[in-house]
Amino acid sequence: MSNAVVDRTLGNGLRLLALRHGVTPLVEVRLHLPSPCPTRGALAESVLLAACLSQRQGADDGVELSVVADVHKMTVTASCSVHALDSLMSALTEVVEGVPAEVESVRGQLIAQLRMVRAHPDIAVRSELARHLFGDHPLAFQMPEDDELAGIAELRRRPFDPRGAVLMILSPDDPERMADAVEKALVGWRPLARSAPPLPPPPRIEGGRLAPLPRPGAQQSRIRLRAQAVTAEHERYPALFLACNVLGGYLSSRLSRSLREDKGYVYGVTTFFDLQHGSGLLAIEADTAAGTTSAAMEALAAELCGMRTRPPTGQEIQAARAYALGSMATRLAPRAAFASSLADLAAKGMDPLWLLGFSRRLAAVTPDAVVAVAEEFLAPERFSGVVVADPEALPRPLTLTEVE
Closest CA to 142 of 76, 79, 42, 71: 71
Residue after which a domain boundary falls, among 126, 154, 186: 186
Closest CA to 350 of 179, 231, 236: 231
Give the CATH number, domain containing residue 106.
3.30.830.10
Report yes or no on 336 lying in a domain.
yes
Q: Phi, psi at residue 281, to the nearest 5°? A: -125, 145
Report yes or no on 201 lying in a domain.
no
216 shares a domain with 159: no
Predicted confidence at residue 3, as pLDDT, reads: 61
Report yes or no on 203 lying in a domain.
no
**What are the mean pLDDT values of the chain's consecutive 10-residue runs (404 residues total)?**
80 96 94 96 96 74 92 96 93 92 90 93 93 95 94 91 96 95 94 92 94 94 97 96 96 95 94 91 96 94 96 97 95 94 92 94 97 97 96 85 53
264 shares a domain with 218: yes
Report yes or no on 26 lying in a domain.
yes
CA distances from 295 to 53, 259, 327, 387, 390 (A): 49, 9, 31, 13, 15
Q: How many CB atoms lie within 10 A of CB 58?
A: 12
288 shares a domain with 182: no
Predicted confidence at residue 277, as pLDDT, reads: 87
217 shares a domain with 160: no
Report yes or no on 403 lying in a domain.
no
163 shares a domain with 15: yes
370 shares a domain with 269: yes
Pair type for strands 220-228 and 384-389: antiparallel
Quote the number of domains for the chain.
2
Q: How many CB atoms lie within 10 A of CB 156?
A: 10
219 shares a domain with 175: no
316 shares a domain with 216: yes
Cα distance between residue 118 and residue 105, in whole Å = 20
Report yes or no on 401 lying in a domain.
no
Cα distance between residue 195 and residue 271, in whole Å = 37
Q: Is the entire prediction scored with pTM above 0.85?
A: yes
246 shares a domain with 345: yes
- Residue range(s) defining the domain that contains residue 99: 5-186
214 shares a domain with 139: no
Report yes or no on 288 lying in a domain.
yes
166 shares a domain with 237: no
Report yes or no on 194 lying in a domain.
no
400 contacts 387 by C-beta, under 8 angstroms? no
- Vertex 177 angle, CA 174 and 179, to 5°: 110
Cα distance between residue 89 and residue 159, in whole Å = 16
Residue after which a domain boundary falls, among 170, 186, 202: 186
254 contacts 303 by C-beta, under 8 angstroms? yes
End-to-end CA gap in the chain: 55
230 shares a domain with 87: no
